[in-house]
Amino acid sequence: MRKTLLLFAIVMSSSIVSAQLYVNEQTTKKVPTPNYRLADKFSPENLAKLVHSTRVNPHWLKKGNRFWYQYKTSEGSNYYLVDADRRTRIKLFDNEKMAKWLTEITKDPYDAQHLPKFSFKFVKNETAIRFRVTATEEVEVVEDEKDDDKKIIENDSTKVKKVKKKKPKMEKKVYHLEYKLGDNKLTILDTKKDEKKWLRWANVAPDSSIVLFSKNFNLHWMDKENFLKAVKDEKDTTIVEHQWTKDGEEYYGYGGGSRGENNETKEEKKDDRKGIWGTWSHDSKKFVFQRTDSRHIKDLWVINSVSKKRPTLETYKYHMPGEQEYYKSELLIFDIPSKDVNKIKLDTVKQQSLTVYRAPRKKSNYDDDFQPSLLLSKKGKVYFSTISRDRKKLDICVADINTGDVTVLVKERFNTYIEARPLVLFNNETEMLHWAERDGWAHIYLYDTKGNLKKQVTNGSYHVASIENVDEKEHVLYFTANGVDRNIDPYYEHLYRINLDGTGLKTLNKGDFTTSTSLSDSNNYFVSNYSRVNTVPKSELRSNNGSLIMKLEEADLSQLFATGYKFPETFKMKADDGITDIYGVMYKPFDFDSTKVYPLLEYVYPGPQTEAVNKSFSVRMDRLDRMAQVGFIVVTMGNRGGHPDRSKWYHNYGYGNLRDYGLADKKYVAEQLADKYQFIDINKVGIYGHSGGGFMSTAAMLVYPDFFKAAVSSAGNHDNSMYNSWWSETHHGVKEELDADGNIRYKYSIDKNQSLAANLKGHLMLIHGDVDNNVHPGGTIRMADALIKANKRFKFMIMPGQRHGFGRMTEYSFWLRADHFSKYFLGVEASNVDIIEMNRDKPKK
């Protein structure tokens, strides 16, 4: 017994000594000094000089399996033409010769490393390219002939006086050039500026016979002849336009929206031609338009105090969650030859949203100037979906374009919200592919176009991201997916093929990385860009069976690494349930010192539509790599209820608890990281984010006030009862209830950050743009109001004249965040009135 007690005493003594040594080690470790100079070194402006192209963006051509692309390195830009069938990759032209020709033609100096960024048009059966360059030489503007002949008639009608000549207008000379591939010269076609082919307000029919537009909230049209006049001069008084509808009014009109305009500008432009969005039949004889009545939706306002001498008011419709009113939508069919208007037969009393399915665009058409939106069907049918206001009931429907009769083909029902993807028609419109999460994972289902299920094509515990194409001849489906390979990060996306009978699943670009692909229209080849956050991005060309055709590019990061840049580290931890895997990325200072102990900062965005965790290499470092350089360990991670690229259970975990659902995971992962890495100070954990991340970071400070010690919350939707209903009612839920009279009422309740204001213990900074018409600044102001009433100290910054993204004040907001965490975690407060890092390198004027 004595031996046992003695042994126990020795063990306990040893444990106490070990614990004391650990505490002493932690207390003796140095805290880093804020390194603002290093953070400034990796500003977006400086990074643009260090990193250039990181991916190949193929411009697929119409003839053969060919594409061209531009790729920029520290040596300059090169343009390449790839012929996949011939396995060739050649330069589109010789840079030195091109520089020589441009210099000789324009009389401006060019060299091979500093060619301008070209926008090419392939012509002459794709054997030549045309483009324009602007010279520094100024030439006189050529006025319209009718203006030169203007005359002023005096009171005496026999006397005619010519207009007094004014100083000629000048403009930079433009050269329209042509280069025949493989030729040894550059040809001048003309010196005319590129005329606007299509005006923003013009919705041109596929056959170009008629142009639709909105004016004073009504539908108008003009023929091709008059539209060409408008292309030349929109104010031409000889243009003939016709009014089609007469019952349009603001918020219940035919196009002509003014979202984002202040009330003064809206009044000034009220009689202008404006756009009308809709979908054309392939034969140009029908135009399908979704008309929405939002007159009964309540107004919201923002005021821009820095726009003019008098602050300007911006009024717009904004539906908040739980409000009984809802948008009323109808589908109208405009018959072009007869000018009749018919309705698709819908129950417009139901509170629901509509989506008209459109035909996919060919990759080889992406560079075309004219790209009309076409109906999915070529056979006189309108495929569309309706989803109930509570997002739990989705119907896929088809309507006859002539009669408006509707047939429901597929019904989806779920107890949480339903998500959807575009419908795919094939096999002469006798079959269709439908994306659904009905078994807990996103998969593809094969139906006939009468609504009969034929086959679940994909199956298993993985997430189908999107349908890329269907090879009807080979009966093969190409799609992207996540989580097929259980041995790699489930967020890594790859391209797959599978037979339409569900057999023959094959990965086409295997590897422990994520990919971004572009499949040719022929389905024979695809470009694959791939990387992780800790690898150099590479690009390659592969065939449709996955075999490598050729390597294309490897990003030039030499200048970046020369600055001392180091890749971040990936990690996998457990969620607060001890079971669910959470994936994240850790960013360290590039001058990391293992003898120091660092505060931990979490950058958050809760989703649920995404997670703020980079999976591929990116130079957008402002909120992560760059923040770490100040002197912090910065981590970003997922949480249950986050990204949809996993199971529906994972994605919908936060349904009904949109404030607190991800916080336990954020806290628990931080604790695991501190257990693993002794350089992390678990007593100094901060959190920051923008938009949903602004909301989440403040919530973390209030739900776990003893754990999270400081936060910077920008543009946060702290009060989700006043954020837009689509996001809030979708991801949190809204309940349908019947009242005593049998009418449907909508009940909505959600926890708000301001209800926990009294819990604040740490150091909180709130930032918001005062003309944010997405997340209204009122949400942050309500948070500030609650904190003031709770007698709390906090920081509050308004970004004047800024929308949701802060625009030109983004850099300023970075340094506000750096100052905040530096003061409270590193013990150094920035006291200079100038933000030195922003002013240091500016040229003095």
Say which CATH architecture domain 421-532+534-567 belongs to.
6 Propeller (2.120)
Residue 161: per-residue pLDDT: 56
Residue 308 has pLDDT above 90, yes or no: no
Question: Dihedral angle at the C-alpha atoms of 573, 576, 579, 584, nearest 10 degrees?
Answer: -30
pLDDT tens-digit readout, 745-766 = 999 999 999 999 999 999 999 9
Q: Is the pLDDT of residue 7 over 50?
A: no
Q: Which helix (H) or strand (E) holds 187?
A: strand 187-190
Q: Which is nearest to 441 in space by CA: 468, 419, 413, 460?
A: 460
Q: Please determine, for residue 25, whether its predicted confidence score (pLDDT) is greater than 60.
A: no
Residue 369 has what pLDDT? 85
* pLDDT at residue 10 greater than cutoff 80: no
3-state secondary structure of 800: coil
Q: Where are the beta strands (DSSP E) in 592-647?
A: 598-603, 633-637
- Give percent of the chain with pLDDT exceeding 90: 84
- State how far the Cα of 494 lies from the Cα of 378, in Å rounded to an integer: 31
* Distance between CA atoms of residues 559 and 574, nearest Å: 37
Q: Where do we find the tokens 């994240």?
A: 584
Distance, CA of 320 to chain centre = 23
Residues in the chain: 845
The pLDDT value given to residue 4: 47
- The answer, yes or no, to whether residue 146 has pLDDT greater than 60, is no
Phi, psi of 712 (to 5 degrees): -125, 115
Regarding predicted confidence, which is higher, 163 or 823?
A: 823
Sequence-separated (6 or more) residues with CB below 8 Å from residue 459: 443, 502
CATH architecture for segment(s) 568-838: 3-Layer(aba) Sandwich (3.40)
User: Do residues 636 and 585 touch, judged by C-beta distance below 8 A?
Assistant: yes
Is residue 361 scored above 70 in pLDDT? yes
pTM exceeds 0.85, yes or no = yes
**DSSP-based three-state secondary structure for 327:** coil
User: What per-residue confidence (pLDDT) applies to 844?
Assistant: 73
H or E stretch covering 788: helix 778-789
DSSP 3-state assignment of 763?
strand
Residue-wise pLDDT tens digits, 74-106: 999 999 999 999 999 999 999 999 999 999 999
DSSP for residue 826: I
Amino acid at 260: G
How far, in Å, CA of 415 to CA of 392, rounded? 6
Residue 842 tokens read as 């500016």
pLDDT of 162 > 70? The answer is: no
Hey, where are the domains in the chain? 93-190, 421-532+534-567, 568-838
How far out from the chain centre does Cα 72 lie? 23
pLDDT of residue 196: 64
DSSP string, 368-431: -S----BBS-SSSEEEEEEEETTS-EEEEEEEETTT--EEEEEEEE-SS-------EEETTTTE
Phi, psi of 474 (to 5 degrees): -90, -5
pLDDT exceeds 60 at position 57 = yes
| 152 has a pLDDT exceeding 70 | no
